[in-house]
Chains A and B, each alone.
Chain A
Amino acid sequence: NKFLGHYSPDSFQSECTCSLPLGEVQYPDQTGSQPHWFHTLQVKRFRVQRGRSNSDPLGGTNSPEDFSWRAGFQFGTANSYLSLEKLGEGAYASVYKGISRINGQLVALKVIRTKTEEGVPFTAIREASLLKGLKHANVVLLHDIIHTRDSLTFVFEYVQTDLSQYMTQHPGGLHSHNVRLFMFQLLRGLRYIHSRRILHRDLKPQNLLISYLGELKLADFGLARSKSIPSQTFSSEVVTLWYRPPDVLLGSTDYSTALDMWGAGCIFIEMLQGAPAFPGVSDVFEQLQKIWAVLGVPTEESWSGVSQLPNYEPELFVWREPRPFRNVWKRLAQLPHKTEDLVQKMLKLKPRDRISAQDALQHLYFSTLPTPIMHLRDMIQHESRCPSSKCPAFAWRLRSGTIFTQSEGQTICGPATKCW
Chain B
Amino acid sequence: MKHTLRWCQTPPSMTVRVKPTSTRSHQVKRGLGLKRANGQDVQGPPGKSQPTKHQGEMYYSKMTMSPTIVIQRQEMASFFKLFDDDLIQDFLWMDCCCKMTDKYLLAMTFVYFKRAHFTLVEYTRKNFFMALYLANTMEEDEEQYKYEIFPWALGKNWRKHFPHFLNQRDKLWARIDYRAAVSRRCCEEVMAILPSHFVWQRERSEHHSGAHRQYGHQDNTLMPRGPSASPVYCAFCTHETEVDHGPGSSSPFRGSFLLEVTPPRTTTSLRKVKVFPLFCPTPMKALTYCDQILFVSFSSSHI
The answer to whether A308 has its CB under 8 Å from any CB of chain B is yes
- Report yes or no: B54 in contact with A380, Cβ–Cβ below 8 A: yes
Q: How many inter-chain contacts with C-beta < 8 Å in the A-B complex? A: 198
Known: A229-B184, A382-B22, A382-B59. A133 touches B274 (CB 8 A): no
Task: Determine the interface band of chain B, counting residues with CB < 8 A from chain A.
Answer: 35 or more
Contacts of B290 in A (CB 8 A): 228-230
- The 28 listed contacts between A and B (C-beta, < 8 Å) are A116-B163, A118-B163, A119-B166, A119-B170, A122-B143, A126-B137, A126-B181, A135-B22, A145-B178, A194-B294, A227-B294, A230-B286, A231-B204, A231-B261, A231-B286, A233-B145, A233-B211, A235-B141, A235-B210, A252-B262, A253-B211, A253-B261, A254-B262, A305-B260, A308-B274, A309-B265, A352-B278, A380-B59
Known: A231-B286, A232-B140, A233-B140. 7 other contacts (CB 8 A): A125-B138, A130-B181, A197-B294, A227-B293, A228-B183, A308-B260, A310-B263
The answer to whether B169 has its CB under 8 Å from any CB of chain A is yes
- Report yes or no: A231 in contact with B54, Cβ–Cβ below 8 A: no
Residue of B nearest to A309 (CB): B262
- Expressed in whole angstroms, the minimum distance between the Cβ of B285 and any Cβ of chain A is 9
- Report yes or no: B24 in contact with A231, Cβ–Cβ below 8 A: no
B124-148 contacts to A (CB < 8 Å): 134, 137-143, 145
- Expressed in whole angstroms, the minimum distance between the Cβ of B210 and any Cβ of chain A is 4
Contacts of B296 in A (CB 8 A): 191, 194-195, 358
Q: Digit string of B157-199 for contact with A (CB within 8 Å is 1, else 0)?
A: 0000001001101100110011111011101000000000000
B248-303 contacts to A (CB < 8 Å): 260-265, 273-274, 276-279, 286-287, 289-290, 293-298, 300, 302-303
Q: Contact partner of B289 among A198, A230, A257, CB < 8 A?
A: A230
Residues of A within 8 A of B (CB): 75, 114, 116-120, 122, 125-126, 128-130, 132-135, 145, 147, 191, 194-198, 225-238, 251-254, 256-257, 304-305, 308-312, 351-352, 356, 358, 377-378, 380, 382-386
Contacts of B295 in A (CB 8 A): 194, 257, 356, 358
- Report yes or no: A231 in contact with B265, Cβ–Cβ below 8 A: no
Contacts of A385 in B (CB 8 A): 22-24
- Expressed in whole angstroms, the minimum distance between the Cβ of B163 and any Cβ of chain A is 5
Residue of B nearest to A126 (CB): B138
Contacts of B56 in A (CB 8 A): 380
- Which of A225, A256, A382 is most buried by chain B, counting CB atoms within 10 A of its CB? A382
- Expressed in whole angstroms, the minimum distance between the Cβ of A317 and any Cβ of chain B is 14
Known: A75-B25, A254-B210, A384-B22. A129 touches B180 (CB 8 A): yes
The answer to whether B20 has its CB under 8 Å from any CB of chain A is yes
- Report yes or no: A197 in contact with B184, Cβ–Cβ below 8 A: yes
Contacts of A198 in B (CB 8 A): 303
- Which of A116, A130, A232, A253 is most buried by chain B, counting CB atoms within 10 A of its CB? A232
Contacts of A257 in B (CB 8 A): 294-295
- Report yes or no: B141 in contact with A234, Cβ–Cβ below 8 A: yes
- Report yes or no: A237 in contact with B286, Cβ–Cβ below 8 A: no
- Report yes or no: B23 in contact with A380, Cβ–Cβ below 8 A: no
Contacts of A384 in B (CB 8 A): 22-23
Residue of B nearest to A118 (CB): B166
Q: Digit string of B12-27 for contact with A (CB within 8 Å is 1, else 0)?
A: 0000000011111100
- Report yes or no: A197 in contact with B278, Cβ–Cβ below 8 A: no
Taken together as a complex, chains A and B put the C-alpha atoms of A352 and B293 apart, in Å, by 10
Residue of A nearest to B299 (CB): A195
The answer to whether B104 has its CB under 8 Å from any CB of chain A is yes
Contacts of B184 in A (CB 8 A): 197, 228-229
Taken together as a complex, chains A and B put the C-alpha atoms of A119 and B130 apart, in Å, by 13
- Expressed in whole angstroms, the minimum distance between the Cβ of A76 and any Cβ of chain B is 8
Contacts of B6 in A (CB 8 A): none
Residue of A nearest to B20 (CB): A382
- Report yes or no: A119 in contact with B211, Cβ–Cβ below 8 A: no
Known: A231-B208, A382-B21, A384-B23. A117 touches B163 (CB 8 A): yes
Residue of B nearest to A116 (CB): B163
Q: Contact partner of B181 among A226, A311, A358, CB < 8 A?
A: A226
Contacts of A386 in B (CB 8 A): 24
- Report yes or no: A256 in contact with B302, Cβ–Cβ below 8 A: no
Q: Contact partner of B278 among A126, A227, A236, A254, CB < 8 A?
A: A254
- Report yes or no: A129 in contact with B178, Cβ–Cβ below 8 A: yes
Contacts of A236 in B (CB 8 A): 210-211, 262
- Report yes or no: A125 in contact with B173, Cβ–Cβ below 8 A: yes
- Report yes or no: B265 in contact with A233, Cβ–Cβ below 8 A: no
Q: Contact partner of B262 among A232, A310, A382, CB < 8 A?
A: A310
Taken together as a complex, chains A and B put the C-alpha atoms of A156 and B200 apart, in Å, by 38
Contacts of B109 in A (CB 8 A): none
- Expressed in whole angstroms, the minimum distance between the Cβ of B183 and any Cβ of chain A is 6
- Report yes or no: B169 in contact with A119, Cβ–Cβ below 8 A: yes
Residue of B nearest to A198 (CB): B303
Taken together as a complex, chains A and B put the C-alpha atoms of A254 and B286 apart, in Å, by 13
- Expressed in whole angstroms, the minimum distance between the Cβ of B110 and any Cβ of chain A is 15
Taken together as a complex, chains A and B put the C-alpha atoms of A129 and B176 apart, in Å, by 10
Q: Contact partner of B210 among A119, A122, A226, A234, CB < 8 A?
A: A234
B193-221 contacts to A (CB < 8 Å): 203-206, 208-213
Contacts of A135 in B (CB 8 A): 22
Known: A117-B163, A132-B177, A382-B20. A235 touches B104 (CB 8 A): no
Q: Contact partner of A129 among B24, B138, B167, B264, CB < 8 A?
A: B138
- Expressed in whole angstroms, the minimum distance between the Cβ of A276 and any Cβ of chain B is 25
Taken together as a complex, chains A and B put the C-alpha atoms of A254 and B209 apart, in Å, by 8
- Report yes or no: B141 in contact with A125, Cβ–Cβ below 8 A: no
- Report yes or no: A228 in contact with B178, Cβ–Cβ below 8 A: no
Residue of A nearest to B301 (CB): A133
- Expressed in whole angstroms, the minimum distance between the Cβ of A414 and any Cβ of chain B is 33
- Which of A117, A132, A135, A230 is most buried by chain B, counting CB atoms within 10 A of its CB? A230
Taken together as a complex, chains A and B put the C-alpha atoms of A230 and B183 apart, in Å, by 12
The answer to whether B9 has its CB under 8 Å from any CB of chain A is no
Residue of A nearest to B107 (CB): A229
Contacts of B139 in A (CB 8 A): 225-226, 229, 232
Taken together as a complex, chains A and B put the C-alpha atoms of A358 and B298 apart, in Å, by 13
- Which of A145, A198, A233, A253 is most buried by chain B, counting CB atoms within 10 A of its CB? A233
Q: Contact partner of A125 among B137, B205, B286, CB < 8 A?
A: B137
Taken together as a complex, chains A and B put the C-alpha atoms of A76 and B260 apart, in Å, by 45
Q: Contact partner of A133 among B174, B210, B261, B302, CB < 8 A?
A: B302
- Report yes or no: B167 in contact with A253, Cβ–Cβ below 8 A: no
Contacts of B170 in A (CB 8 A): 114, 119-120, 147
